[in-house]
Amino acid sequence: KREAVGVEALAMGSGESKSGIDVGVFGDLDISSGFVLAGSELRGRAYVRWNPGSRVDPRTTYRVCVSVIGEEAATVEYRRDDEFYDDEWNEGPSTRRTRRITDYANATTRFLSQVLVLRDLGPRDGKVDLVFPFSFTLPPRLPTSMEHSQGRSGCSISYYALVQIIDLSSNAGGLSAGNKEHRMNFSVYNPPPPPERHFPVSIQPTTEPVNLCCCFGEGTVTIGASLPSGLAAVGSVVFEVGFWVVNESDVDIETVEMKLVQRIQFSADSHTKNEERVVGRTRVPVDPALLKKNTRSEAKLISSGSPRQQISHVEVPFATFESYVGSIVSVTHRIELVFHTGTFISNPTLRSDNIFFYRLPPSQPSAGWGGPSQAVGLGPGFAQQASAPPIPPGWNPQLEPVSSFDGSLEVKRSG
């Protein structure tokens, strides 16, 4: 089944004349599942009507090409000073004044750009209708599509295929009114990471003083933790954490709170927005053996490399984004363990930034995942539409060979 996904286009209806369509492009993508896996093949077709008549310069060459683009985008709302003169309202001498206004900075950067040149056209080609099958082999790992809003600011990671007719003699490109182009949005997931990418994480033990009312020392607590793997799937309920305590204070540790913290940062023109929030949390009572102050012999035993660990789990919710660090958009995660003591007593805390989350494709469910969450910002491209192009009068297509891009410099054609 052929489906066009997320269409934004100057459709084949561009450039109509009394005799029909002069010049126009369209396209569709073979996406049956609503997304494309990194490392897989993206297939589609480009449709071209070429009937320029006297509208083109006979010395000019026009190029038909299709591109696959991946890009980060950010919009940052900020406040700035704006100078103005008040002579618009006053009849006397004008005065320069300053006011605070809201402005927006925008930035876009591409991390993926693959281009296939399909054919060069000119006046001598006459009227012709063309269909170009094409395929792209995507890189094996790509950032997952996402969208995030923070008030009037926001960021995204998006993908699209672009069919164009480009005027090679013009800096602006295109025919007299600019490029003819057709854009098709799609979303990208990564396949599940191989087993060798899972790595254990040992959180360095730390010894912290325990104070009553921030002033009176109650001794020290040494805490440490470990994770069987610092890599976890969004939607998983099996993110495992083991922790241990050497309690040499005069207070009891009552509960341990585990928090998964997500930090999103994006920037545009030196303006930056940050958002940090807790995306997962669990609080468990501490094993009775770890509640009380350890005896000297117990402390020596635990600190000598044979700690008594308590195992707990925390859920990674569906609304969590995939970990990613790019040029203008980054999403990072950390785990925090807070060891709660009594009222008015400080709580020792342990942190680690060495954790990474990934989003599984909907066809690869993890523990506790029954499918993608509708509330998650998955990015553009999930709305599926019929692929039939707007057929111009007298459409008589000529099928061209398949053009393929496999990541090398060589364009392969078959058919």
Evaluate whether 241 touches 311 at the Cβ level (below 8 Å): yes
- Of 390 and 267, more confident: 267
Condensed to tens digits (0 to 9), the pLDDT of residues 305-320 reads 445 678 888 888 888 9
Evaluate whether 158 touches 145 at the Cβ level (below 8 Å): yes
Neighbours of 386 (CB within 10 A): 10
Evaluate whether 253 touches 329 at the Cβ level (below 8 Å): no
What is the reported pLDDT for 62?
87
Calpha distance 354→389 (Å, rounded):
48
For 136, list phi and psi in degrees, rounded to 5.
-125, 135
b vs e for 7-25, b when ≥16 Cβ sit within 10 Å of the residue's Cβ?
A: bebbbbebbeeeeebbbbb
CA dihedral 177, 179, 182, 188 (to 10 degrees): -140
For the ranges 91-95, 117-121, 391-395, which has the lowest average pLDDT? 91-95
Statement: residue 110 has pLDDT above 90: yes
Statement: residue 368 has pLDDT above 50: no
| Residue in this structure with the two tokens 């506790």, named with its chain if needed | 368
Residue 6 — very low, low, confident or very high, per pLDDT cuts 50/70/90? Answer: very low
In the structure encoding, which two tokens stand for residue 18, read together? 């009394």
CA atoms within 13 A on the CB side of 404: 10
What is the reported pLDDT for 81?
87
CA atoms within 13 A on the CB side of 168: 13
CA atoms within 13 A on the CB side of 44: 33
On average, the pLDDT of the chain sits at 77
Calpha distance 170→105 (Å, rounded):
29
Residue 301 — very low, low, confident or very high, per pLDDT cuts 50/70/90? Answer: very low
- Alpha carbon 325 to its chain's center: 9
- Of 377 and 105, more confident: 105
Length of the chain measured in residues: 415
Q: For 185-212, what is the mean pLDDT? A: 83
- Alpha carbon 396 to its chain's center: 41
Condensed to tens digits (0 to 9), the pLDDT of residues 269-290 reads 999 999 999 999 999 887 766 6
CA atoms within 13 A on the CB side of 374: 1
What is the reported pLDDT for 242?
86
Cβ neighbours of residue 374 under 8 Å, at least 6 residues apart? none
Highest-confidence segment of 25-34, 84-93, 209-218: 25-34
Cβ neighbours of residue 258 under 8 Å, at least 6 residues apart? 241, 281, 282, 283, 284, 312, 314, 335, 336, 337
Name all contacts of 236-239 with Cβ < 8 Å and 24+ positions apart: 236/315, 236/316, 236/366, 236/367, 236/368, 236/369, 237/313, 237/315, 237/316, 237/367, 237/368, 238/313, 238/367, 239/280, 239/313, 239/314, 239/315, 239/316
What is the reported pLDDT for 10?
37
Calpha distance 405→118 (Å, rounded):
11
Calpha distance 202→241 (Å, rounded):
10
Local structure of 37: helix, strand or coil: strand
For 214, list phi and psi in degrees, rounded to 5.
70, 0
Calpha distance 209→59 (Å, rounded):
81
What is the reported pLDDT for 159?
97
Helix locations, 246-382, DSSP H: 288-291, 296-303
